[in-house]
Amino acid sequence: MTTNGVLTSLVSFANTNGAFPYSGLTPGNDGNFYGTTYYGGSDSLGTVFNVTTNGVLTPLMSFANTNGANPKAGLALGSDGNFYGTTTSGGTNGWGTIFKVTTNGVLTSLVSFNNTNGAFPRAALTPGNDGNFYGTTYYGGSNILGSSNSFGTIFRVTTNGVLTSLVSFNNTNGAYPIGEMTLGSDGNFYGTTYSGGSSNLGTAFQMTTNGMLTTLVSFNNTNGANPYAGWTPGSDGNFYGTTANGGGSGTNGAVVKLLVPPMLGPVSISNHAPQISIKGLARPSLQIQFTTNLTASWSVLTNLVFTNGAGQFTDPAATNVSQRFYRAAVQ
């Protein structure tokens, strides 16, 4: 589709070459696109395919249950040129898999979920800055599926299949993540859960690479409800997304913007004044606050001198102060 809405149909699936693609396409290093179908193929359990920009489709492999079945998510391109993905079911235990597939269709099963480490992943994997992939599972976690505490997980997986469980959702902090996570400019991951949170209508969350989860928003219907998708970074440093339900007084969904306060980084001293780096949003969206005691109230810092665009600021007024604490807030 062109940017002005001229649509050209490139491929119609015919079951033998795949059926019911749920996810988007992923560009490969060869200029072609790669994707998955939920059904179809030789065993009717889904496929991985390659398609050129003029619509020549090549089925690369068909899932056969033992190596995974029914992928709902798209593929993530690894630094090695291979693609990595998930299936919602199949594998050794039937709870879904993580796989690697080459551009010529050689598939390697890396992980079979066992419910304790997650079950039924529906989201695509997100490459991290450390060369690993991060993802979510819709069910499973540290408790048995079907119990009141089986609300999905967040995990890290290496390219050779070593999986580390980072978070088990507990409904209070979110439940049933569907959309893929987004890597922020601050090195943290941002995502959504379909339900859970204070109103049980889903959440927006932030997670560090070591699994520290922060619930940023609990959707309450007025601001949206039940997000299926993850976040898209905007040029203004904020995140944009959609919810399947809710929105104002309506029930048909919403487009939402997430303002995320940036992180303040390491502090250095130059000419007896502290220099503090900023990771995250651009300077016009920031308000830097300070206090001399963490039990006291916070004040807005108005005499900032930015020494590196939006990336670092100096507080000249702190040259003769024994201690000072800073925090960043979105205006």
* Contact criterion met (CB below 8 Å) for 163 and 111: yes
Does residue 27 carry a pLDDT above 90? yes
State the Cα–Cα distance between residues 7 and 257, nearest whole angstrom.
Answer: 28
Does residue 164 carry a pLDDT above 60? yes
State the pLDDT at residue 13: 97
Question: Residue 119 is encoded by which pair of tokens?
Answer: 């079950």
Considering the chain, what is the average pLDDT of its residues? 89
State the pLDDT at residue 185: 80
Q: How confident is the model at residue 260 (pLDDT cuts 50, 70, 90)?
A: confident
Does residue 266 carry a pLDDT above 70? no
For 144, residues 6+ apart whose C-beta sits below 8 A from its C-beta are 115, 150
Lowest mean pLDDT among 55-69, 181-195, 285-299, 315-329: 315-329
Does residue 314 carry a pLDDT above 90? no
Q: How confident is the model at residue 282 (pLDDT cuts 50, 70, 90)?
A: very low
Does residue 275 carry a pLDDT above 80? no
3-class DSSP state of 318: helix
State the pLDDT at residue 80: 94
Which tens digit of pLDDT belongs to each residue from 55-87?
999 999 999 999 999 999 999 999 999 999 999
* Contact criterion met (CB below 8 Å) for 141 and 169: yes
DSSP annotation of 104 reads: T
